Chains A and B, each alone.
Chain A
């Protein structure tokens, strides 16, 4: 499917490729300071103010009936914006430990709890560790189709996948709940490995967090509105669904575009740093769109940079991307980027195409193995 031809690097080239990317990290890490602290605190303020404004507008209709519809719509959009900003630019990045260096007790990766159904604890395991370490490695990265979708031909086909275009839509609407139960690995019950009772017990922290979220958005705030219960409840539901669909689109664009690759398990054995960078590069894709796109996607518009440097503050990615892109170009490596419609179009095509049986293309090596088949191509100097 992919038309990309990456230059096969020699181990020595791969080594310097990794070193150059490490140097980008070191340069930007040395620059961290007041600018970055001010940025993330501005994001916190943005989340708080838009959250309060959004919820306030949803209540407004209860008292001023004439503005019911416009206030409701504006309230939903503001609350959705607040939740997107919190989940993506604030929580996701803080939970990575990107702002740990500040020493701010409310911005610590280990303790931050986000405004979404899933627990931060599960996210730290499934996302920070498994997904980021074993990105797009089949059998190790659960984010490949989330155990629900067949995105790559390397995943084994099953008749169930015929309905996956429909499943994908439902999954998008309920995305936060999919994330919430990801680490429970419900498939174990179907496979008879654990009983339903065991699963229920293991799910205790997940249940507690889910109840908190339901209690907040579907009980507490609607009750505050008294007779106006229903519009507030529906407003919160709409905001949550908008956030779900948006995060789903952004995240699927990150690793499931046409040129994104998956890797076999033995790929990670004795992986060097250069090798690891290379795997992250081939498994990730960026989004173009500028500053607002960066903020609204929590800088996952720089998915490649995020995967290279998950612990560097995301507000640095735009500047790092310039250097990363140049390095990739010089080493003849495809830098996967495109507009959201283009990238998500490719994702949708994958979901439809691989609903049906498909065969994988032969795996392209990440690194030249035998000296014989290495054309000692000089690196591009332009």
Chain B
């Protein structure tokens, strides 16, 4: 979901503005809005040495999320809405639990761990992602690294509720023991379901460091050849898991999260995906996006062509851009982008 929100339907009374309604309704109750999905922080607990679990209460406009899916959470840090994806666990009363790994220098994770106060309100998008389970599942091998445990935890809770944990294995990688989250919960599951195989792989263990996923011995996993493998973690982890297991297992699905990395060069081409027209174009780095798109036959709305009139602004969903006048890079997802004075540095996704 985009942070730059657009009205989905016309208002009931034309001049009765959503902003007007929300201003007064949120003064009565912080979660009461006309249509905007919001969630309120109701509790925060330490999940591990470097992770916190936030309990969020969504309002009735929240579209819902399936176990294993992610949602985009919009958090205001220093006046700016920053959007990050988290995989929530559904709690009994409809609340959501998200576990956030605190990253050194990560402004959103640090804000959620320390800055945000109980009662703060965030915007919350609908659930997305394909790593979900139908009721009738085959043999499963779940691979998680670091914060990648969060969708796996939701899936395991779903399977537990459906009493289908008999043929499931989970391998959970972390660097050190104090980074492990949900240890008691996972061990309790393993105790209750003899068929559920649980392995913690601590790569930085002083005595017996666990091998990384690329060299991990999966021979203990029964029926690997018929298993569906789901992996979640940093991009490097998911890639080596794919290389290692795709030939061995029945199917492989991965969800990777990683910080966008700046390219070494501003030359060459990148792929620009346009969500509204469904097209993907190859355009040159360093060329203002407006000119580059026009050269490909796309005609975005435009005006001054010097970054002033705001006519060509559109939402950049992901990717890094570079301001053609200042040379500054912008990597924040779901932010407005002026096409006329920005060029692509990495692959981009635009709402155009």
Question: Interface on A for B, CB 8 Å cutoff?
Answer: 22, 26, 32-38, 44-45, 48, 96-97, 100-106, 108-111, 113, 115, 124-125, 128-129, 132-133, 208, 212-213, 215-216, 273, 276, 310-311
Contacts and interface: CB of A to CB of B under 8 A. Distances in A.
Interface in B7-25: 7, 14-15, 17-20, 22-24
B274 interface: no
Contact of B80 (A26, A35, A101): A101
B79 A97 contact: no
A359 B5 CA distance: 52
Contact of B79 (A32, A105, A109): A32
B311 A213 contact: no
Interface string B62-97: 000000000000101011111100000000000000
B24 A102 contact: no
Given A48-B24, A97-B310, A106 B79 contact: no
Contacts of B311: 124-125, 128-129
Contacts of A37: 76, 79-80
B3 interface: yes
Interface of B: 3-7, 14-15, 17-20, 22-24, 36, 74, 76, 78-83, 123, 303-304, 306-311, 313, 325-326, 334-336
Given A22-B325, A129-B304, A100 B313 contact: yes
B310 A109 contact: yes
A157 B210 CA distance: 88
A133 B310 CA distance: 11
A100 B15 CA distance: 22
A97 to B, nearest CB: 3
Contacts, number: 106
B84 to A, nearest CB: 13
B4 A108 contact: yes
B310 A311 contact: yes
Given A103-B335, A104-B81, A125-B303, 8 more contacts: A26-B326, A34-B79, A48-B20, A109-B313, A129-B304, A132-B309, A133-B304, A133-B306
B23 to A, nearest CB: 5
19 contacts: A33-B78, A37-B76, A44-B19, A45-B23, A48-B20, A48-B23, A97-B310, A100-B4, A101-B79, A103-B82, A106-B18, A106-B22, A108-B4, A111-B6, A125-B303, A125-B311, A128-B309, A129-B309, A133-B309
Contact of B310 (A32, A45, A96): A96
Interface centre among B6, B19, B82 (most CB of A within 10 A): B19
